[in-house]
Amino acid sequence: MPQPLSCPPNCCSRAAIQLQLNFVIYRPSVLDCAGPSVPTMLTMASSQANERDPLLSNGNGHGHGHDHSHSHTSSHSHSNSNVQVHRQVQVNSSSSDANADADGEINSKASRNSRLREIGLFVWALLATAAVIVVAIWTQHQQQTKHDRDAPSAKRNLVFMVSDGMGPAPLSLTRSYRQYVDGLPIDDVLTLDQHFWGSSRTRSTSSLVTDSAAGATAFSCGKKSYNGAIAVLPNHDPCGTVLQAAKRAGYYTGLVATTGVTDATPGAFSSQVKIRSMEDEIALQQVGEGALGRTVDLILGGGRCYFLPNSTEGSCRDDDTDVVKLAKEKHEWSYTDDRAGFDALKGGEKVKLPFLGLFAPYDIPFEIDRRNHNDVYPSLSEMATTALRALEKATEDSDKGFFIMIEGSRIDHAGHINDPAAQVHEVLEYDKAFRAVLDFIKNSKTETVLVATSDHETGGLATAIQEPGHLPVYNWYPKVLANATASAEWLAAKLHSHLASVSDSKKGKDDKGKDKDKEKEKEKLKKYINEELIVRGLGISNASDKEITTIAEQPENALVLFSALISLRAHVGWSTHGHTAVDVNIYSSGGPGTEAIRGNVENTDVGKFLHNYLDVDLDEITEELKAKMGKIDAQGLEDLEGAWASEGSKYLALESI
């Protein structure tokens, strides 16, 4: 667009009139003068010139002849340069009477065109200005919206969920299983699938394959450590956890797990010990006997045996400390250990904090067993819902919210024993708990962010296998898993109970006909294994005599043998009874700061997000712990694998049957 021609006070001199006229005729533009438009100004200037100079007027209303004009001009050619301009204007304006009307029409048309251009360009400029303003307002709004979205509210809640041992393959297994069982279309997905956020790398400082303790320490402290470490760093310094820092900052805190609450994941958020097997000490720190005092407000899960003195039946402590009594009397915990007590909590409405709920001596049973055989135990989703409501109620009048860690702990155990039937039900229940948290967020008046991930993958699950001596079959069969009503763990326990009962019944009897009786007993045992355990429990009706005999002769290996029976028939494969180094998925509800854990990140990045979102100072807690605890005694850690290998001793290697 041409730049407007400036019009200073003297721009409308007679000498400029012709220049401006030529500009209008030969270069259509708007001449932006502070005053009348150019055509109007031109008319006014010409009229004024005619009045002042007789050369531009014929005195009687008619133009002069050519000869008279020339003679008069010659006598003054050097006296006034403006006269020459006047003459030029006169010549141009009086060239011919015949062309006068045409010139007027041209000038009038030029004036109209100029005015139209003025109007058009004015409208264009107005629209452009309006567009710029709209874009500026929209940009500012977007920036403010992004800032509001990225900036946490003053009061906030953070829910962190851990699917222990769940890699990507169990999600695929469970999704297909659910589609088959419920007759769903192939595009039906889990709630988790709808909130996929990224993936996490999992290695520890001591191994490419992490354990749950090092994995949980990466989450709780935001730092890598060695396998087996519970919030302790490789240099044996304790590290402050996000839960402990949150409590110090005024948040309420909670832990929910389906294993014992002293297990690696909940332990790494609420205590500092050199090795995960120190569950006696973890229990003490959790109720308030640690260097920081009580930092947890609510604990729900299993593992009651570590809270009972060893003089009590059902205890697994090495000493005679009654941790439950200590918690109630010294630290004012409320306590329950059964279904009736859990139901009395009324979904979290009747919880008096601090609250300790230990609903099983060890782990809460697998979901497939809890639902089908013994529902006296609360499920993961029930405990999660109760805990969320209890913490929400406790923070109603607080300017701080809460932090809670919820773990679907036994997905990992199903992977360790290679039991696909148990695993799909654990993942389904975890998905249900995840959905319950989303429902809570939807109805909560307080900003709440949910982040979920796994510490590692367990079992090396593959949703297809190639049997020895056979070509690969590109399929697996969820129907086999759908027929099962019990886990391999439950069936193995039932077998051991049956054998103990048979042994007791034989006490005091003589050994006459010993060999013959043994053969009969073996056949009776095989019948029991097939009919009561394999057919009724696993839903398998074609077990071979060799398979049944192997279980009868090796009852100590029944756990993995039952798992092998169902895995082979479902065409589900496993590479290990331990952990793997595969990346694990991250899921989230979204919210302020969650973009930091988009894509592929380290597990420590997840931990950093947790404390950044809550805006708490882990370094301050770490320094306090170091001052009060000093360095953690490293004696016995020379052989890290040996120090915690006993944790996996119950999972036996699968042997060919």
User: Following DSSP, what letter does each residue of 140-159 receive, concatenated?
Assistant: HHHHHHHHHHHSPPSSEEEE
Q: Of 213, 268, 212, 265, which is closest to residue 240 (Cα–Cα)?
A: 268
What pLDDT does residue 373 have? 82
Evaluate whether 212 touches 202 at the Cβ level (below 8 Å): no
Q: Is 532 annotated as a binding residue?
A: no
In a domain, 472, yes or no: no
Q: Of 403, 347, 415, 417, which is closest to residue 378 (Cα–Cα)?
A: 347
Burial group, residue 445, by CB count within 10 angstroms (0-12, 13-18, 19+): exposed
Packing angle, helices 514-528 and 488-506, rounded to 10: 150
What pLDDT does residue 575 have? 97
What pLDDT does residue 651 have? 37
**Residue 39 token pair:** 């055509």
**How far is C-alpha 185 from the chain's CA centre?**
26
631 plus 557 within the same structural domain: no
What pLDDT does residue 367 have? 98
In a domain, 610, yes or no: yes
Instruction: Report which secondary-structure segment, H or E, holds 247.
Output: helix 242-248
Could you say which of 212, 220, 225, 487 is catalytic?
Answer: 212
What pLDDT does residue 120 have? 79
Evaluate whether 426 touches 367 at the Cβ level (below 8 Å): yes
Burial group, residue 512, by CB count within 10 angstroms (0-12, 13-18, 19+): exposed
CA distance 85 to 96: 19
CA distance 630 to 636: 17
What pLDDT does residue 109 have? 65
**Residue 136 token pair:** 């500026």
In a domain, 150, yes or no: no
Q: Helix count (H) and strand count (E) of the chain?
A: 24, 12
What pLDDT does residue 511 have? 61
What pLDDT does residue 273 have? 98
Q: Is 456 annotated as a binding residue?
A: yes
455 plus 488 within the same structural domain: no
CA distances 190 to 369, 430, 433, Å, are 22, 10, 12
CATH number at residue 185: 3.40.720.10
In a domain, 271, yes or no: yes
297 plus 172 within the same structural domain: yes
Q: Is 280 annotated as a binding residue?
A: no
In a domain, 139, yes or no: no
382 plus 487 within the same structural domain: no
In a domain, 651, yes or no: no
Q: Is 66 annotated as a binding residue?
A: no
**Residue 252 token pair:** 């309420």
Number of domains in the chain: 3
304 plus 207 within the same structural domain: yes
91 plus 238 within the same structural domain: no
What pLDDT does residue 361 have? 97
Instruction: Report which secondary-structure segment, H or E, holds 602.
Output: strand 599-602
566 plus 586 within the same structural domain: no
In a domain, 138, yes or no: no
In a domain, 16, yes or no: yes
| 126, 145, 171 - which closes a domain | 126
Residue 497 domain boundaries:
478-501+517-570
CA distances 238 to 595, 623, 643, Å, are 29, 9, 18
CA distance 310 to 273: 21
Ranges of residues in the chain with a pLDDT under 70 are: 1-110, 139-152, 508-515, 636-657
362 plus 490 within the same structural domain: no
367 plus 434 within the same structural domain: yes
Q: What angle do CA 273, 278, 280 make, to 5 degrees?
A: 115
b/e 395-411 (16+ beta carbons within 10 angstroms → b): beeeebbbbbbbbbbbb
390 plus 497 within the same structural domain: no
CA distance 456 to 167: 7
318 plus 375 within the same structural domain: yes
Instruction: Report which secondary-structure segment, H or E, holds 22.
Output: helix 14-26
Packing angle, helices 380-394 and 420-443, rounded to 10: 20
Q: Is 416 annotated as a binding residue?
A: yes
212 is an active site residue: yes
Torsion angle in degrees (nearest 10) through CA of 14, 18, 19, 22: 160
What pLDDT does residue 152 have? 67
Q: What is the 3 state secondary structure string of 170-230? A: HHHHHHHHHHHHHCCCCCCCCCCHHHEEEEEECCCCCCCCCCHHHHHHHHHHCCCCCCCCE
Residue carrying structure tokens 């947890």: 296
Q: Is 407 annotated as a binding residue?
A: yes
CA distances 68 to 63, 73, 489, Å, are 11, 9, 129
406 plus 332 within the same structural domain: yes
